[in-house]
Amino acid sequence: MCAEKCPKKIIDTYNAGLSKRKSAYVEYPQAVPLKYVIDPETCIYLLKGKCGACKKKCPVDAVDFDQKPESKTISVGSVILAPGFETFSPEAFENYQYAKHPNVLTSLEFERILSAGGPTQGHVARPSDHKDPKKIAWFQCVGSRDLNRCDNAYCSSVCCMYAIKEAIIAKEHVGDDLDCAIFFMDMRTHGKEFERFYDNAKNKSGVRFIRSRVHTINPVPGTDDLELRYVTENGELQTEIFDMVVLSVGMQTPKALVDLSARLGIALTEGNFAETASFSPVTTSRPGIFVSGAFQGPKDIPQAVVDSSAASAAAAELLADVRNTCTKETEVVPEVNVLGDRPKIGVFICHCGTNIAGVVDVPKVVEYAAELPYVELATDKLFACSQDAQDNMAELIKEKGLNRIVMAACTPKTHEPLFQDTLVAAGLNKYLFEMANIRNQDSWVHKNNPEMATEKAKDLVRMAVSKIALQEPLKEVELPVNQTAMVVGGGISGMAAAKSFAEQGYETHLVEQSTQLGGQAKNLYMTAKGESIQEKLAEMIDSITSDNRIHVHLETRLTNVDGFVGNFESTLSSSGSDQQLEHGVAVLATGASPYKPTEYGYGTDDRIITSLDLDKKLINDDPSLTKLNGAVFIQCVGSREPGRMYCSRICCTHSIENAIQLKEKNPEMNVYILYRDIRAYGEKELLYKKARQLGVIFIRYNIDDKPLVNTDGQRLTVNVTDHILNMPLELEVDMVALATAIIPNADEKLGNFFKVAVNGDGFFIEKHAKLGPSEFSTDGVYLCGLAHYPKPIDESIAQAKASVARAVTLLAKQTVFSSGTVALADPMLCSSCGVCVSICPYSAPKFAEEGRFSGKAEINPALCKGCGLCVASCRSGALHLKGFDNNQILTQIFEMDEAV
Amino acid sequence: MTNNKIGSVMVVGGGIAGMQSALDLADAGYYVYLVEKGPSIGGVMAQLDKTFPTNDCAM
């Protein structure tokens, strides 16, 4: 009401300025909290003392113009800075016409255009005339990798990937004929599964990738079109007309944040990101203050999520001994026993604003529901999920003595847990709840047919009521969580994880199959930030071996895992003897190995070596390195090609770093890097710049025209086609360093132990690519480091800490509850056929070994996931799925039958 | 020294990074103050349409 009446229209920043909103507003319909606010910078009343329309119209008198900003002082043990970034504003780039031409957009604006909740409801229309575009161009590196026109020398790391995503989604919205062209310098798709996405965009979706920096956009007179002039890879000048241009703007730290950092005494990098070290990637220069997200360096969502968990682990390490001193226990309401009581069902029907009520005739559904069997009360709510509606629901449960609840609303996927919490708060078992999905599966999909949608809502409510009437309270088994952690893999990641567990007070077992700790880091010379890896590694190994909370098991393999979340029992085998280890959680940090090349003459000549061989020489300060006249690095050896369609992420930076080392040892040396795309993401771009300044020569080669390494016993030469001159070159050198791919060690057996899977490339599959990067779908099992995907040391350590932070959220609970929705075996009917035992993916059913029903199937409720496979497969009808029992399913079917 | 420690943490910023930190700490037994300058949490991710690789709605 307030927003409706507010006369002041201002720019909607949520829609990136593409639409207007009022001064009294809610940012977007899904905003949390979903509360209207008044923008003090534009409100007429607050600025001029007149208007107050919102206050007059507000039916609940919620508008208070007298609220003033308050300053509060709070004392905390630690601070985590996650203030984010701002997108670069391309207004100053006059040659791109952004400020002048409506059809030149930023990528964030285009993101809003693609969104169903955006200003065009997801219809891709160009702003000037709302015409469907036929051709859209993306310009990469706007406000990134650019010191001429802005001060952002670094790479923003995310723009290549989002541009490809936007192009593909635009094609989905507009149709396959939409011509999408991405103009870029280096295509940086260095994340997990990114290279394949790029490859598919190019070869399947037909997105055009043009390696060129467009200089100027000119409006085409008399039209709203835009003319681009650019130079192709072959050096030809091209002119092409597009309907729209999207500028892929980079990330930068806002000025206010730079000032705040100065006040806080936080050191910043050259690019204005919080300075951190590779071995403490989320620790700022000020003790007790940690950093995560884009303020730590430009990064994508998964990396931000990793850092954030890492920052919470770092804070928790610091405060481990005062844990649980500031938190409050939530009060547990005793559960009312309703077993055997006649069902008294309460039906709540949600309007969901206009989402449901705009289509479904809610009052009619309420009227209908009130007449259904066992229904004690039927009522409606504007937003059933709002706090006041929830409070009212709890009151009604008590007042009317309701013992079953049906909620006809949005979707159980997002809201069931919330409503169940309300039941619990009112003393009802949370399983006495059923949701009828009248939004996602009704009002949204039948919005053109409101009458039938109303009938369908009635059907769904009737089915839900019949089912819940047969529902009984279910018990969740409470299981203790063993407070010991196991970490598999003694490389950098595994050690960092073990250390973080120990620092947070947990007994930890670190299992390593080789004879020593250190993993691949033993072969590495220097980080991208210039830290000596051997020095830091030695310190780290020392801190692990001297920590009496960490038990290191060298030359040990994991040979069996029994049990489940909170109660694993693993078998550790070492030189023929087995040891049983009970632990509550496990972190898999099994690492990766370098690819052994068969190409480029590797193994035929001592001068042809891998990057790691070169690191070894650098570690040993091999005097021969200074004497080299020429060295060539060849990138992507075994990466980014059929069979291994992923980027190994760290090799570009690694070779650049080593090239710099060689140049610094001997500035006269000719150093060449032969590459496909330089992927020096984030501030690693500065290293790339430094290498060029030192005279390292970068030559790009094409995958169809790989360099040739020739050795005739004396001369070592490399033939490559120069990408600028388009001419063949012969480089005579004394060393060829091959930047080889990173291949995961993850073995299937280990995966099977914990029921975790690997992807086509052999890397472990995390729970969620974006939001669960450091944990598995299997509860209680976590992952980090190279076993997840190739990454440098700082990112490995961050993920190690992140996996621990996630694991500690489980350990801290002390107990876990199994779901109540589990299978139950009736031993009287069981014929001991064993189908359930063999079919269950979770090993939940087994034959009882003792007692009256020895030999009959029984289900371990802690292992059962409630999938129902065994129930469907049981030929004796001995298995039941609690909460979804046969009679409940059948009654729903019968009730549905009434509808047709 | 130990006695002066406080078992609470302030997280500055309510975007995806700040929310993740806040959740992890709260679930691990620390009181969290989540500070956000805007009227709602969610940050830039809430402005994105879909995200790679699942094309899940970013919301």
Give residues with Cβ within 8 angstroms of A869, minimum separation 6: A839, A840, A841
In this complex, do A30 and B30 lie within 8 Å of one another by their Cβ atoms?
A: no
Residue A244 parent element (H or E) = strand A244-249
For residue A868, CA distances in Å to A488, A806, A842, A872, A893 come to: 33, 29, 12, 6, 18
Cβ neighbours around A333 below 10 Å, total: 13
Nearest-CA distance from A807 to chain B in Å? 9
Q: 3-class DSSP state for residue A306?
A: helix
Do residues A212 and A242 touch, judged by C-beta distance below 8 A? no
Residue A241 parent element (H or E) = strand A237-242
* Tokens describing residue A470: 């047969």
> B45 at the A interface (CB within 8 A)?
yes
pLDDT (0 to 100) of residue A712: 85
CA–CA separation, A87 vs A68, rounded Å? Answer: 30
pLDDT (0 to 100) of residue B57: 67
* Residues A851, A853, A856, A859, CA torsion sign: negative
pLDDT (0 to 100) of residue B1: 45
> A308 at the B interface (CB within 8 A)?
yes
Nearest to B13 among A81, A313, A812 (CB): A81
Please choose, from the candidates A666, A658, A694, the residue with its C-alpha nearest in 3D space to the C-alpha of residue A524. A658
Nearest to B13 among A77, A84, A326 (CB): A84
Supply the DSSP symbol for A282.
T
CA–CA separation, A229 vs A249, rounded Å? Answer: 20
> B43 at the A interface (CB within 8 A)?
yes
CA–CA separation, A742 vs A639, rounded Å? Answer: 8
Quickly count helices (H) and strands (E) in chain B: 1, 4
In this complex, do A37 and B39 lie within 8 Å of one another by their Cβ atoms?
A: yes
| Summary mean pLDDT of chain A | 94
For residue A94, CA distances in Å to A145, A213, A218 come to: 18, 15, 11
Q: Which of A32, A88, A295, A312 best tests the B interface by mutation, with the highest count of B CBs <10 A?
A: A312
pTM for the whole structure = 0.89
Cβ neighbours around A532 below 10 Å, total: 13
In this complex, do A84 and B15 lie within 8 Å of one another by their Cβ atoms?
A: yes
- The structure tokens 């289900």 sit at A859
Note the pLDDT tens digit of each residue in A597-633.
Answer: 999 999 999 999 999 999 999 999 999 999 999 999 9
Rg of chain B in Å (alpha carbons): 15
- The structure tokens 């708060």 sit at A425
In this complex, do A769 and B52 lie within 8 Å of one another by their Cβ atoms?
A: yes
> B42 at the A interface (CB within 8 A)?
yes
* Cis omega (within 30 of 0) for bond into B53: yes
Note the pLDDT tens digit of each residue in A505-527.
Answer: 999 999 999 999 999 999 999 99
> A645 at the B interface (CB within 8 A)?
no
pLDDT (0 to 100) of residue B55: 65
Contact pairs from chain A to chain B, CB under 8 Å: 199
**What residues pair up with A287 in beta bridges, in sequence order?**
none
Note the pLDDT tens digit of each residue in A164-222.
Answer: 999 999 999 999 999 999 999 999 999 999 999 999 999 999 999 999 999 889 999 99
Nearest to B30 among A74, A295, A327 (CB): A327
What would the 3-class secondary structure string for chain B be?
Answer: CHHHCCCEEEEECCCHHHHHHHHHHHHCCCEEEEECCCCCECHHHHHCCEECCCCEECC
Residue A671 parent element (H or E) = strand A670-675
pLDDT (0 to 100) of residue A900: 60
Determine the average pLDDT of the residues in A767-773.
93
CA–CA separation, B26 vs A758, rounded Å? Answer: 31
Note the pLDDT tens digit of each residue in A654-679.
Answer: 999 999 999 999 999 999 999 999 99
Q: 3-class DSSP state for residue A889?
A: helix
Q: 3-class DSSP state for residue A827?
A: coil
Please choose, from the candidates A314, A309, A136, A291, the residue with its C-alpha nearest in 3D space to the C-alpha of residue A226. A136
* Cis omega (within 30 of 0) for bond into B39: no
* Tokens describing residue A128: 């000037």
Nearest to A324 among B7, B15, B24 (CB): B7
Do residues A127 and A102 touch, judged by C-beta distance below 8 A? yes
Residues of A in contact with B35 (CB under 8 A): none
Whether residue A725 is predicted with pLDDT greater than 90 in this model: the reply is no
Cβ neighbours around A398 below 10 Å, total: 12
Q: 3-class DSSP state for residue A511?
A: strand
Nearest to A83 among B5, B13, B42 (CB): B13
Q: Give residue A495's region: left, alpha or beta (phi > 0; psi -120 to 50).
A: alpha
> A31 at the B interface (CB within 8 A)?
yes
Residues of A in contact with B28 (CB under 8 A): 312, 316, 323, 504, 805, 808-809, 812
Q: 3-class DSSP state for residue A467?
A: helix
Higher pLDDT, A227 or A35: A227
pLDDT (0 to 100) of residue A72: 94
Please choose, from the candidates A50, A709, A800, the residue with its C-alpha nearest in 3D space to the C-alpha of residue A496. A800
Q: 3-class DSSP state for residue A739?
A: strand
Determine the average pLDDT of the residues in B36-41.
93
> B36 at the A interface (CB within 8 A)?
no
Nearest-CA distance from B1 to chain A in Å? 11
Note the pLDDT tens digit of each residue in A837-865.
Answer: 999 988 899 999 998 999 999 999 888 88
The residue of chain A nearest to residue B6, with distances taken between CA atoms, is A77
Determine the average pLDDT of the residues in A699-726.
93
ipTM: 0.95
Nearest to B49 among A85, A111, A197 (CB): A111
**What residues pair up with A510 in beta bridges, in sequence order?**
A487, A552
> A78 at the B interface (CB within 8 A)?
yes
Do residues A672 and A731 touch, judged by C-beta distance below 8 A? yes
Do residues A544 and A510 touch, judged by C-beta distance below 8 A? yes
CA–CA separation, A535 vs A165, rounded Å? Answer: 42
Higher pLDDT, A634 or A358: A634
Percent of chain A having pLDDT more than 70? 100
